């Protein structure tokens, strides 16, 4: 207690000279504040210079010009001018007036750069014409941030997944196109024009699975991920005909998403593992050549290559058939995966 009182006493004694008035009626503390205010004005000038200097060398770059908000720059005039008049006429605070002048100068520079006034190809275009174009462009882009906040995370990849899923059976139905366009418009995403019939690009199941996994790797909300299951089912049933390819894709992707949603909760998940069981050294060498990253492991007394685990039995069988077609003995088996260890 005594030590604390001693510290407080020392603090008061040390502060007293700063608070004491001198001959001109100002304490050292008040003079110190005055110095800080003067310094603040100098710092504002330096800050303004550094801000302009950074962008000035890029003023002729059209992308830089388009990245500046004209409305925000012009609002600088609306805010700065009243403060300037108030500081000069009413309060006669010339430090504040000087800071308002700096703000108005910055607003002017950013307005000129934002209109593209310094861009070479705009040299023969009047300033107000450039201003009108810049304002029109900003009007179109003004909802981009809100749209990005409203649309679900990974929305563009969801649209890409739907596009590829529509082409999985080598035929795009008009109903599938309508569904894709419906969500594209809802989320404000531009998509290339799709035409019913045979797709221009063949969809590969493995590529589509990679795209779905890439979407899940972005960490979407579980509710949105579960909604993707419904979307995938809607897409498969949009033309009232579910092909074998679509059924296989839906089963596999539903399992992938279920795994993602359940991974935080723990528990067990049934998956289907594909194994290649080489019959002799010749097949052993063939597998090592086809799948060089796989290591041979012992399983139930034999040597096997574990190709991977899949969420649907049909998809696992399709992978298995691919290796059987190459003359390799392959099998699928049901396994349980402990999600709490992921």
Burial class of residue 82, CB neighbours in 10 A (0-12, 13-18, 19+): exposed
pLDDT of 32 > 60? The answer is yes
Q: How confident is the model at residue 145 (pLDDT cuts 50, 70, 90)?
A: very low
CA distance 326 to 207: 21
Report yes or no on 147 lying in a domain: no
pTM of full prediction above 0.85: no
pLDDT for 8 equals: 43
Least confident of 1-10, 269-278, 313-322: 1-10
Sign of CA dihedral 81, 87, 91, 96: positive
Question: In this structure, are 77 and 120 located in the same domain?
Answer: yes
pLDDT in tens, 38-94: 677 777 788 778 878 878 888 888 888 887 877 777 777 777 788 888 888 888 887
pLDDT in tens, 266-286: 556 677 888 888 888 888 888
Q: How confident is the model at residue 216 (pLDDT cuts 50, 70, 90)?
A: confident
Question: In this structure, are 115 and 23 located in the same domain?
Answer: yes
- Mean pLDDT for the stretch of residues 9-30: 50
pLDDT of 294 > 70? The answer is yes
> What φ, ψ does residue 154 adopt, rounded to 5°?
75, 25
Question: Which residues lie closer than 8 Å to 18 by C-beta, 6 or more apart?
Answer: 27, 28, 29, 32
Number of domains in the chain: 3
Question: In this structure, are 95 and 22 located in the same domain?
Answer: yes
| Gap between the terminal Cα atoms of the chain | 55
Question: In this structure, are 249 and 279 located in the same domain?
Answer: no
Report yes or no on 229 lying in a domain: yes
Percent of the chain with pLDDT over 90: 0
pLDDT for 307 equals: 83
CA distance 166 to 184: 14
pLDDT for 18 equals: 43
pLDDT of 313 > 80? The answer is no
Question: Which residues lie closer than 8 Å to 235 by C-beta, 6 or more apart?
Answer: 162, 165, 166, 176, 179, 180
pLDDT of 37 > 70? The answer is no
Question: In this structure, are 313 and 330 located in the same domain?
Answer: yes
pLDDT of 233 > 60? The answer is yes
Question: In this structure, are 24 and 129 located in the same domain?
Answer: yes
Higher confidence at residue 230 or residue 116?
116
pLDDT for 99 equals: 79
Report yes or no on 52 lying in a domain: yes
Report yes or no on 6 lying in a domain: no
Question: In this structure, are 225 and 299 located in the same domain?
Answer: no
CATH number at residue 275: 3.30.70
Question: Which residues lie closer than 8 Å to 30 by C-beta, 6 or more apart?
Answer: none
Q: How confident is the model at residue 15 (pLDDT cuts 50, 70, 90)?
A: very low
CA distance 323 to 313: 16
Q: How confident is the model at residue 184 (pLDDT cuts 50, 70, 90)?
A: confident
Hey, is 332 helix, strand or coil? strand
**93 touches 40 (CB < 8 A):** no
pLDDT for 140 equals: 64
CA distance 95 to 88: 10
Question: In this structure, are 34 and 97 located in the same domain?
Answer: yes
Which of 116, 141, 166 is the last residue in one of the domains? 141
- Mean pLDDT for the stretch of residues 9-28: 48
Q: How confident is the model at residue 26 (pLDDT cuts 50, 70, 90)?
A: low
The DSSP string of 29-75 is HHHHHHHHHHHHHHHHHHHHHHHHHHHHTTTT-HHHHHTS-HHHHHH
Report yes or no on 9 lying in a domain: no
Report yes or no on 222 lying in a domain: yes
Question: In this structure, are 310 and 233 located in the same domain?
Answer: no
pLDDT for 5 equals: 46
Question: In this structure, are 124 and 156 located in the same domain?
Answer: no
Report yes or no on 3 lying in a domain: no
Which of 92, 116, 141 is the last residue in one of the domains? 141
| Full domain range(s) for residue 52 | 17-141
Please state, rounded to an integer, the average pLDDT across all residues of the chain: 76
Which of 87, 115, 141 is the last residue in one of the domains? 141
Report yes or no on 165 lying in a domain: yes
């Amino acid at each position: 207690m005594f030590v604390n009182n001693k510290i407080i006493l020392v603090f008061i004694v040390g502060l007293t000279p700063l608070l004491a008035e001198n001959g001109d009626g100002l304490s050292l503390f008040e003079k110190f504040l005055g110095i800080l205010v003067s310094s603040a004005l100098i710092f504002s000038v330096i800050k303004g210079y550094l801000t302009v200097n950074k962008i000035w060398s890029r003023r002729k770059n059209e992308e830089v010009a388009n990245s500046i908000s004209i409305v925000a720059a012009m609002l600088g005039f609306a805010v700065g001018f009243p403060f300037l008049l108030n500081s000069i006429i009413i309060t006669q605070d010339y430090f504040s007036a000087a800071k308002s002048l700096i703000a108005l100068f910055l607003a002017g520079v950013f307005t000129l750069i934002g209109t593209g006034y310094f861009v070479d190809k705009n040299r023969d275009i009047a300033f107000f014409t450039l201003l009108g174009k810049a304002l029109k462009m900003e009007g179109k882009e003004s909802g981009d941030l809100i749209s990005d906040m409203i649309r679900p995370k990974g929305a563009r990849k969801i649209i890409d997944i739907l596009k590829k899923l529509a082409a999985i059976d080598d035929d795009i139905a008009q109903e599938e196109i309508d569904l894709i366009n419906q969500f594209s418009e809802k989320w404000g995403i531009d998509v290339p024009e799709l035409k019913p019939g045979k797709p221009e690009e063949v969809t590969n199941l493995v590529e589509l699975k990679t795209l779905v996994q890439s979407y899940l790797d972005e960490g979407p909300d579980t509710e949105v991920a579960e909604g993707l299951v419904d979307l995938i089912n809607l897409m498969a049933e949009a033309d009232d005909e579910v092909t074998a390819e679509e059924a296989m894709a839906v089963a596999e992707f539903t399992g992938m998403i279920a795994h993602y949603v359940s991974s935080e909760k723990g528990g067990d998940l049934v998956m289907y593992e594909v194994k290649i069981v080489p019959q002799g050294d010749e097949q052993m060498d063939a597998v090592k050549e086809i799948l060089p990253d796989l290591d041979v492991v012992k399983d139930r007394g034999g040597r096997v290559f574990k190709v991977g685990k899949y969420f649907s039995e049909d998809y696992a069988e399709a992978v298995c058939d691919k290796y059987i077609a190459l003359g390799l003995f392959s099998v699928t088996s049901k396994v349980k995966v402990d999600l709490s260890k992921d």
